[in-house]
Structure 1
């Protein structure tokens, strides 16, 4: 059970926002294999890049996301997938938060299921508490080619 309210925010690598890093898995050499975090989005901002990682972004409030020049409007609970090296920016009407699950490309893939915090968890590697919601995160190993 991961509770963002128990983790202090840290600045984004690019200085344009803050995140609460909840859990990270690394390999023997220290490379990130997966990371679960919640971003505090309080202004329009570009995202930091994370080469070789794929991102599953779950909007917790309405926002507009631009990924490599393509805009998409996301409502609360909408999800978007994109490469960590993509050029990404967010435009907000009001401050909100977002759940981010990053996975090493070719090693893991993430799935997130949102549910009422009162509903039971069926299957998850981690559960993130998000006020009245809970996000069940599954980390699925990608098969070797």
Structure 2
């Protein structure tokens, strides 16, 4: 079980926020929890597909398209897309990044009292929920 509170935050690539890298195979995939403290642009990750799971209410703008997300809502976008977050209050987000063409990520949220499903790459302790992360091989 991965626990974000046990990992020190590090600055984003662009310096506009912080993240806690929970697990990674650096050339293939990465699981992290971002601390979203203020409105900010996201860092670019060309060649990477991102699955973003909101852990609180927020607004994402991806290539000019605005999407309001609530806790548990997910959005997929390319790492080279122009993305920014707008917040009414600080929150967090779970990010699963995969090398384009290698994997497709899925995140399933469940209660801590529910049994962990078979085949998860990792499980993340989010307090009132557990996030199970699955990768499907594409290549």
Global fold match (TM > 0.5) = yes
Q: CA offsets, 1:109-144, max 9 Å, x none?
A: 10000011221111311000001110000011003x
Aligned residues: 138
Shift of 1:33: 0.4
2:128 aligns with 132
Cα separation, 1, equivalents of 2:82 and 2:17: 16
| TM-score between both structures, scaled by the size of structure 2 | 0.97
Runs of 4+ in 1 over 3 A off after TM superposition: none
Q: Secondary structure at the match of 1:65?
A: strand
2:42 aligns with 47
| TM-score between both structures, scaled by the size of structure 1 | 0.93
Structural mapping, 1:1-145, within 5 Å: 1-26=1-26, 32-123=27-118, 124-143=120-139
Q: Secondary structure at the match of 2:28?
A: strand
Structure 1: which 5+ residue stretches go unaligned? 27-31
Cα separation, 1, equivalents of 2:115 and 2:124: 13
